[in-house]
């Protein structure tokens, strides 16, 4: 299979590209800067209307779309430009190129309106209820992807569609939950940096159960979604490790694995939310707290994985404790 992977400079995107290449797929990656991966690279900004999407997609069978603006603060127009408009253009270009499979990587935050999520499945993406620019833009993008192909699209499993024809790609939406592992700058990197600076706080009691996903397991799930896409058209699946732990325990374990001090500060959830509302309007990069972060750290969010595992024929290989050992061994 010839596969285009977007966002390959990120931990998960790069790992997906390497896994596909290792099993013999012909891989192209699209991102703004060189990734250093041993695959064909096309440089371009997905938010740019003139990005070379046609060149990146020519002759390809499938797309795994991970590129997104993931910062916790920033102007709405930047999230709209990349996460919504960029996704819309990519899907349109994939259809025009005759691509047969399109795996869209979303986020459980698209259906999180601030309340606890306890053993739930993949709720509908809700741009109006989603918290923060990132979650809202990903919710809009997910809805556009699902609306962009008919429910009963004509497809031939395992083959490309004819460019310019009536056939549509098989679209699967996968929402990995809190992906982490060695080399992670989004979750692990921020936790460790704040811990070493003495700024890592437990919000609320620290007892809220939160599930996460080790990067190797997220990769396996996305590859399975790609392989099974013709049978999963328009399905939305949440992926997680299936081992919810109290948030205070998770933070302490990540810190211990990285050789950083465990959090010693506890902040009431109401105070954290109020502080986040102020800070996120003033901070331009990596604020210590936002309303979304306060909610994520003080409310439970773990998910029923039975549907996902049955649909993908997949189960996680790396347990939490083994993941912490790998993180420690990597010196993260």
Active-site positions read 134
Tokens 């013709």: give the residue.
230
DSSP letter at 260? -
CA distance 304 to 199: 33
Helical segments of 128-201, H only: 132-147, 188-196
Stated as kind and residue range, the H or E segment containing 245 is strand 245-246
163 within 8 A of 96, measured Cβ to Cβ: yes
147-to-63, 161, 236 alpha-carbon distances in Å: 17, 19, 13
Closest CA to 99 of 26, 28, 4, 23: 4
28 within 8 A of 39, measured Cβ to Cβ: yes
Q: Residue 40: CB partners within 8 Å, gap ≥ 6?
A: 26, 27, 28, 29
To the nearest 10°, the Cα dihedral for 41, 42, 48, 51?
-160
């Amino acid at each position: 299979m010839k596969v285009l992977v977007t966002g390959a400079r990120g931990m998960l995107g790069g790992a997906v590209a390497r896994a596909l290449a290792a099993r013999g797929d012909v891989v192209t990656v699209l991102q703004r800067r060189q990734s250093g991966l041993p695959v064909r690279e096309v440089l371009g900004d997905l938010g740019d209307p003139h990005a070379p999407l046609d060149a990146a997609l020519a002759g390809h069978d499938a797309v795994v779309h991970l590129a997104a603006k993931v910062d916790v603060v920033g102007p709405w127009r930047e999230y709209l430009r990349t996460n919504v408009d960029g996704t819309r253009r990519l899907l349109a270009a994939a259809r025009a190129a005759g691509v047969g499979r399109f795996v869209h990587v979303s986020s459980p935050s698209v259906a999180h309106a601030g309340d606890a999520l306890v053993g739930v499945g993949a709720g509908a993406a809700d741009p109006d209820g989603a918290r923060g620019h990132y979650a809202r833009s990903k919710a809009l993008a997910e809805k556009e992807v699902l609306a962009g192909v008919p429910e009963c699209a004509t497809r031939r499993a395992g083959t490309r569609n004819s460019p310019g024809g009536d056939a549509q790609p098989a679209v699967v939406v996968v929402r990995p939950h809190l992906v982490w592992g060695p080399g992670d700058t989004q979750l692990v990197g921020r936790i460790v940096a704040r811990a070493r600076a003495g700024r890592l706080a437990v919000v609320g009691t620290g007892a809220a159960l939160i599930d996460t996903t080790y990067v190797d397991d997220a990769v396996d799930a996305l590859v399975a979604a790609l392989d099974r896409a013709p049978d999963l058209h328009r399905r939305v699946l949440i992926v997680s490790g299936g081992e919810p732990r109290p948030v205070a325990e998770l933070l302490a374990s990540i810190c211990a694995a990285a050789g950083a001090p465990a959090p010693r500060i506890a902040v009431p959830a109401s105070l954290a939310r109020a502080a986040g509302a102020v800070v996120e309007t003033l901070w331009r990069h990596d604020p210590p707290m936002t309303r979304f972060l306060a909610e994520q750290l003080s409310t439970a969010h773990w998910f029923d994985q039975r549907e996902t595992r049955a649909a993908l024929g997949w189960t996680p290989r790396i347990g939490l404790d083994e993941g912490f050992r790998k993180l420690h061994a990597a010196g993260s």
